[in-house]
Amino acid sequence: MPKTTVRSPSNIAFIKYWGARDLKRVIPANPSLSMTLRNCFSRTTVEWLDEEGEHEIRWRAGGGGFETAPPAFAERVRRHLDRLRDWSKSGGRFRVATENSFPSAAGMASSASGFSALTLATLGALGREVSTAEQSVLARRSGSGSAARSVIGGYVEWPADESPSAEGVECYARQVASADHWDLRNVIAVVERGAKSTSSLDGHRRATTSPYWDTRQRRLPECLAAVREAIAGRDLERLGTVVEAEAIDLHCVAMTSEPPIFYWQPATLTVLAEVRAMRRDGVSAFSTMDAGANVHVICSPESENEVAARLSRLDLDLSLIHDGVGAGPVVENEHLF
């Protein structure tokens, strides 16, 4: 199908990718494990044109119409389109339009959903059907490692090892449990809508300069094992305790990198304190943050409304997004152009 539209969700990592063994090839220093979301998504239409020329890349930010994408973003998209075109050994050029259902580049993994949707829609436009493992590898090569997990629904692990799959692809994500296995919710406290000051790419680059890098690496295998077991046993207390500590570890590494990266805002700390207060009051809720100021509060469906009500009562300029585990990307019949 020369024109294909894919809606791909974002994901929230419970064990996070931070620092790479090979940043160019996007081979992470550590395995990561995430929950694919359902309401935070990117929708992307890609059309393949059998003619020479530049790719056309448009996006819709906010409520307006589609416009030419800003240069830095367009450049990343262009490079990935070239990569996929070379991989498929086809010529031609692409026309792309993309939009997000949530704030971009604010620590909510818009690159994960964006590059997952772009990869899958481009494969569709080129008429190439490949395994999920290969989709994950191609999404990873975009430069956004977390995109490797967003091509899959439910609970997804991205190992750091490079042992090849049956079809010979390496370092790809795979599902550890389906979305139906456990209905977890994520109430996102959006305290910052603008783009974050330091990209995750720079964060990966600087991570090893932190004196806490080794400490986090040593703790990770145990944390990963605990998260896997907690998901298998649907144990929110166990999952949440590890996930909250792991996010703080990552931000300690970021804050002590050279030069340091402070993603948290005062409002972040207020939300974190409120989540701890909820637990003291018997509400089972746990925080995690990506590379940004916004806080993802992981909870059960039964606690979701209580969590949202308590966050809304805080004296902060925040908005809430209700999200939860989702089944992964879908091909849509309606196109963006």
Query: Can you give the binding site for ligand PMV, defined by CB under 6 A?
Result: 13, 16-18, 32, 109, 111-112, 144-146, 200-201, 290-291
Tokens of residue 247, six digits = 């996010």
CA nearest neighbour of 35 among 142, 146, 127, 162: 146
> Coil, helix or strand for 297?
strand
> Considering the complex, what minimum distance in angstroms separates the CB of residue 139 from ligand PMV?
10
CB of 11: closest distance to ligand PMV in angstroms? Answer: 7
If one counts every other C-beta atom within 10 angstroms of the C-beta of residue 309, the result is 10
Q: Work out how close the CB of 91 gets to ligand PMV at its nearest, in angstroms, rounded to a whole number.
A: 30
Closest CB to ligand PMV among residues 13, 267: 13
Report the nearest approach of ligand PMV to the CB of residue 24 (Å).
13
- Our CB check for ligand PMV shows the closer of 125 and 297 to be 297
| Tokens (6 digits) for 144 | 């956004």
Query: Minimum CB separation from ligand PMV for residue 81, in Å?
Result: 18
Q: How far is the CB of 290 from ligand PMV (least distance, A)?
A: 4
Q: What is the smallest separation between the CB atom of 32 and ligand PMV, expressed in angstroms? A: 4
Sign of CA dihedral 329, 333, 334, 337: positive
> 40, 15, 19: which is closest to 28 by C-alpha?
19
Nearer to ligand PMV, 13 or 243 (CB): 13
Closest to ligand PMV by CB, 4 or 257: 257
CA distance 330 to 337: 18
Question: Do residues 117 and 7 make contact, with C-beta atoms less than 8 angstroms apart?
Answer: yes
Q: Which amino acid is at 268?
A: T
Q: Which is nearer to ligand PMV, 13 or 285 (CB)?
A: 13
Ranked by CB distance to ligand PMV, the top (closest) residue is 146
- Secondary element (H or E) of residue 295: strand 295-299
* Closest C-alpha among 54, 30, 337, 37 to residue 159: 30
Pick 48 or 59: Cβ nearer ligand PMV: 59
- CA angle 46–49–53, rounded 5-degree value: 105
Closer to ligand PMV at the Cβ: 18 or 41?
18
In which residue are the tokens 């809304």 written?
312
